[in-house]
C-alpha cells in the first residue's frame, strides 16, 4: 500500500517548523537580506532591444575572457613544466593572439571596454 510522501506514518500532519532544514533565525536573516536586495534592483526591466543585445554580448564576452585567461594560465603551467613541444607552444601563442584580436573586434562592435567585461559579484568581489 503506497503512502503519501507528505504525511508521516501516523495520522498527524507535521508542523511547518519540523519541515525546515534550518532554524527560524536563519530564515529571518535570509528574509531581511532578500528585502534589502530587492530595494536595489530596478522595479522594471528595460526591454530596449539594443541594450539587451549589448548586455548579452557583454555577458558572453565576459565568459570568453574568463575562459581565455584560464586557458592562458594552464598553457603557462604546461610550458613551465616542459610538457609542450616548440610547435605546440607556437600554435598556442598564435591561437591566443587570434583570440585576443577577435575579442578586440567584438568589443568594438558592441561598444564595450575592457572594464565592461569585469563583472562585480557583490560580496565576492570582481570576477577578474
What's the sign of the alpha-carbon dihedral 75, 79, 83, 87? positive
Integer Cα distance of 48 and 56 in angstroms: 12
Integer Cα distance of 111 and 52 in angstroms: 13
> What integer pLDDT is reported at residue 9 of this predicted model?
46
Question: What does DSSP assign to residue 13?
Answer: P
Q: Domain segments of the chain: what residues?
A: 49-124
* Burial status of residue 71 (CB atoms within 10 A of its CB: 0-12, 13-18, 19 or more): middle
Q: Is the pLDDT of residue 18 over 60?
A: no
Interval 29-84: pLDDT, tens = 777 776 766 665 555 555 677 678 888 888 889 889 888 888 998 999 999 999 99
What's the sign of the alpha-carbon dihedral 50, 51, 54, 59? negative
Is pLDDT larger for residue 14 or for residue 3?
14
Integer Cα distance of 23 and 13 in angstroms: 20
Amino acid at each position: 500500500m503506497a503512502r503519501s510522501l507528505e504525511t508521516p506514518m501516523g495520522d498527524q500532519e507535521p508542523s511547518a517548523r519540523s519541515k525546515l532544514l534550518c532554524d527560524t533565525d536563519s530564515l529571518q536573516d535570509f528574509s531581511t537580506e532578500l528585502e534589502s536586495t530587492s530595494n536595489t534592483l530596478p522595479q522594471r526591466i528595460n526591454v530596449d532591444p539594443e541594450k539587451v543585445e549589448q548586455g548579452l554580448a557583454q555577458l558572453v564576452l565576459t565568459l570568453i575572457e574568463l575562459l581565455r585567461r584560464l586557458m592562458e594560465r594552464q598553457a603557462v603551467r604546461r610550458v613551465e613544466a616542459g610538457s609542450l613541444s616548440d610547435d605546440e607552444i607556437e600554435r598556442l601563442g598564435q591561437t591566443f593572439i587570434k583570440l585576443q584580436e577577435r575579442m578586440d573586434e567584438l568589443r568594438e562592435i558592441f561598444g564595450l571596454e575592457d572594464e565592461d567585461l569585469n563583472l562585480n559579484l557583490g560580496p565576492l568581489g570582481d570576477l577578474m
